[in-house]
Protein backbone atom coordinates (compact mmCIF):
# COMPACT_ATOMS: atom_id res chain seq x y z
CA UNK A 1 0.00 0.00 0.00
CA UNK A 2 2.81 2.42 0.86
CA UNK A 3 4.43 1.82 -2.54
CA UNK A 4 1.16 2.69 -4.29
CA UNK A 5 0.81 5.91 -2.31
CA UNK A 6 4.44 6.83 -2.95
CA UNK A 7 3.93 6.22 -6.68
CA UNK A 8 0.90 8.53 -6.67
CA UNK A 9 2.96 11.24 -5.02
CA UNK A 10 5.57 11.07 -7.78
CA UNK A 11 2.97 11.42 -10.52
CA UNK A 12 2.26 14.81 -11.97
CA UNK A 13 0.18 16.15 -14.81
CA UNK A 14 1.46 18.57 -17.44
CA UNK A 15 -0.06 20.69 -20.18
CA UNK A 16 1.11 23.21 -22.74
CA UNK A 17 -1.15 26.16 -22.01
CA UNK A 18 0.90 29.03 -23.42
CA UNK A 19 3.38 31.31 -21.71
CA UNK A 20 0.87 33.84 -20.36
CA UNK A 21 -1.56 31.20 -19.10
CA UNK A 22 1.18 29.15 -17.40
CA UNK A 23 2.45 32.26 -15.63
CA UNK A 24 -1.08 33.23 -14.57
CA UNK A 25 -1.92 29.75 -13.25
CA UNK A 26 1.33 29.64 -11.25
CA UNK A 27 1.15 33.16 -9.80
CA UNK A 28 -2.37 34.60 -9.94
CA UNK A 29 -4.89 31.74 -9.74
CA UNK A 30 -6.56 30.97 -6.43
CA UNK A 31 -4.43 27.84 -6.02
CA UNK A 32 -1.26 29.90 -6.59
CA UNK A 33 -1.85 31.47 -3.17
CA UNK A 34 -1.73 28.14 -1.34
CA UNK A 35 1.28 26.45 0.25
CA UNK A 36 3.96 25.49 -2.27
CA UNK A 37 3.00 21.81 -2.49
CA UNK A 38 -0.55 22.77 -3.58
CA UNK A 39 0.47 25.22 -6.32
CA UNK A 40 0.81 24.55 -10.04
CA UNK A 41 4.35 25.09 -11.34
CA UNK A 42 5.23 27.14 -14.42
CA UNK A 43 8.00 25.13 -16.10
CA UNK A 44 8.63 27.76 -18.75
CA UNK A 45 7.86 27.71 -22.47
CA UNK A 46 4.13 27.68 -21.71
CA UNK A 47 4.16 24.43 -19.79
CA UNK A 48 2.34 23.99 -16.45
CA UNK A 49 2.77 21.08 -14.04
CA UNK A 50 0.41 19.91 -11.30
CA UNK A 51 1.61 17.56 -8.56
CA UNK A 52 -0.83 15.12 -7.00
CA UNK A 53 -1.56 17.65 -4.23
CA UNK A 54 -1.83 20.62 -6.61
CA UNK A 55 -4.27 18.70 -8.79
CA UNK A 56 -6.41 17.95 -5.77
CA UNK A 57 -6.46 21.61 -4.77
CA UNK A 58 -7.36 22.74 -8.29
CA UNK A 59 -10.23 20.25 -8.40
CA UNK A 60 -11.84 22.29 -5.61
CA UNK A 61 -12.27 25.31 -7.90
CA UNK A 62 -15.71 25.99 -9.28
CA UNK A 63 -16.58 26.25 -12.98
CA UNK A 64 -16.78 30.03 -12.67
CA UNK A 65 -13.11 30.22 -11.68
CA UNK A 66 -10.24 30.16 -14.14
CA UNK A 67 -7.98 27.20 -13.54
CA UNK A 68 -10.79 24.74 -12.84
CA UNK A 69 -10.63 21.15 -14.08
CA UNK A 70 -12.93 18.81 -15.90
CA UNK A 71 -12.32 15.09 -16.08
CA UNK A 72 -14.58 13.29 -18.52
CA UNK A 73 -14.51 11.15 -21.66
CA UNK A 74 -12.48 13.86 -23.38
CA UNK A 75 -9.75 13.67 -20.72
CA UNK A 76 -8.46 15.75 -17.84
CA UNK A 77 -8.47 19.41 -18.84
CA UNK A 78 -7.65 22.75 -17.22
CA UNK A 79 -9.82 25.72 -18.23
CA UNK A 80 -9.20 29.45 -18.50
CA UNK A 81 -12.27 31.23 -19.79
CA UNK A 82 -13.61 29.29 -22.77
CA UNK A 83 -10.26 27.62 -23.54
CA UNK A 84 -9.21 24.21 -22.25
CA UNK A 85 -5.95 22.27 -22.39
CA UNK A 86 -5.58 18.56 -21.88
CA UNK A 87 -3.20 17.40 -19.17
CA UNK A 88 -1.02 14.36 -19.62
CA UNK A 89 0.18 12.09 -16.85
CA UNK A 90 3.92 12.19 -16.19
CA UNK A 91 4.95 9.32 -13.95
CA UNK A 92 8.53 10.62 -13.68
pTM of the full predicted structure? Answer: 0.86
How far apart CA 66 and CA 28 sit, in angstroms, is 10
Q: How far is it, in rounded angstroms, from Cα 53 to Cα 38?
A: 5
Backbone angles phi, psi at 89, to 5 degrees: -70, 130
- Which pLDDT tens digit goes with each residue over 35-69? 999 999 999 999 999 999 999 999 999 999 999 99
Residues of the domain holding 68: 2-90
Number of domains in the chain: 1
Per-residue pLDDT of 15-28, as tens digits, reads 999 999 999 999 99
Amino acid sequence: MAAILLGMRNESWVADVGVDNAAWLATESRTARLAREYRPVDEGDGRIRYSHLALGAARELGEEEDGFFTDDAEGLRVWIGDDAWELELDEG
